[in-house]
Structure 1
């Protein structure tokens, strides 16, 4: 198995020293939350360690870090929206059927994993999957809504189910990136 290249400690140390404060402030302004900014700044440098960039000059370095920061901010906001939707749905349930804090954490993490899986699907595949699984729509209605034949809906759903199986295997630790 080929090994993943890692950045030399000196390169990452220089990148961290030169740009951490700037990156942290950028994230703090975008997120309006110091702890989230610190967490995301840390995550960015972990990614840099895993996939070292070949960058010349401060402008390229900041551009690279800002690009990663934008993606992580979008992911962060999506996660927050998902959590808020879950908490609102939970608040509407009677206290007697509320899940424990541990169950809540597991459910939220599972929602994030499913959301990430759906985000990796092509748009039509995602739409067909959501219409079938969440809304219980029959293939015929999905085909009409998407403007495709029922056979194509079946293909879309098969593709989505393959992704679900891969996600399940990934969650079970059977797949290694």
Structure 2
């Protein structure tokens, strides 16, 4: 109970300031409001609130992570839409399938976050493009043994996340 009351006090004292801080960075009041809420949801969903000496610095740190994820999501969505635009109209997925695919891509991106770039690239070449180990090795300029290690590392990340 103490955790939620601490977050409530933090929210009432600093929500307007955080919303303004995000609005200046985003230029969009609606997105700023959404990300301010996401920031406080992260604080609320934490197991325990650390002792906060500088509340605005604390909130800024969390908000920067939320903002980074927002931009990353936008980049991924833009790349997906660009790929779709290159497809013949007859092969393009339905709107429902597009939404499901985009959500899956976002979840996969979050799941693989923190892995080295080559590990992610190898995993995506295998899972999305359907390439075999030898083809991935040639594409990335690495050995087949390294491809196997990369795929194993990514698979473990996925397995333990579930």
TM range (shorter): 0.7 to 0.9
Shift of 1:157: 1.4
Rounded to whole Å, the distance in 1 between the matches of 2:126 and 2:95 is: 30
Rounded to whole Å, the distance in 1 between the matches of 2:82 and 2:117 is: 26
Partner of 1:54: 51
Rounded to whole Å, the distance in 2 between the matches of 1:112 and 1:119 is: 10
Q: Does 1:109 align with 2:103?
A: yes
Shift of 1:94: 3.0
Aligned pair count reads 157
Task: Give TM-score, length-normalised by structure 1.
Answer: 0.75
Partner of 1:37: 32
Counterpart contact for 1:142–1:153, Cα < 8 Å: no
Q: Does 1:121 align with 2:118?
A: no
Q: Does 1:71 align with 2:91?
A: no
Rounded to whole Å, the distance in 1 between the matches of 2:29 and 2:124 is: 35
Provide structure 2 residue ranges, at least 5 long, that are not aligned to the other structure.
none
Change over 3 Å in CA distance of 1:128–1:101 after alignment to 2:
closer
Partner of 2:89: 95
Bigger mean CA offset, 30-39 vs 92-101: 92-101
Partner of 2:153: 159
Change over 3 Å in CA distance of 1:90–1:152 after alignment to 2:
closer
Rounded to whole Å, the distance in 1 between the matches of 2:160 and 2:2 is: 27
Rounded to whole Å, the distance in 2 between the matches of 1:126 and 1:113 is: 13
Provide structure 1 residue ranges, at least 5 long, that are not aligned to the other structure.
171-177
Shift of 1:39: 1.0
Deviations 1:76-131, CA, capped at 9 Å, x for gaps? 01101111111122122233333222211111110101111222323442243345
Task: Give TM-score, length-normalised by structure 2.
Answer: 0.82
Q: CA RMSD in A?
A: 2.5
Rounded to whole Å, the distance in 2 between the matches of 1:20 and 1:121 is: 33
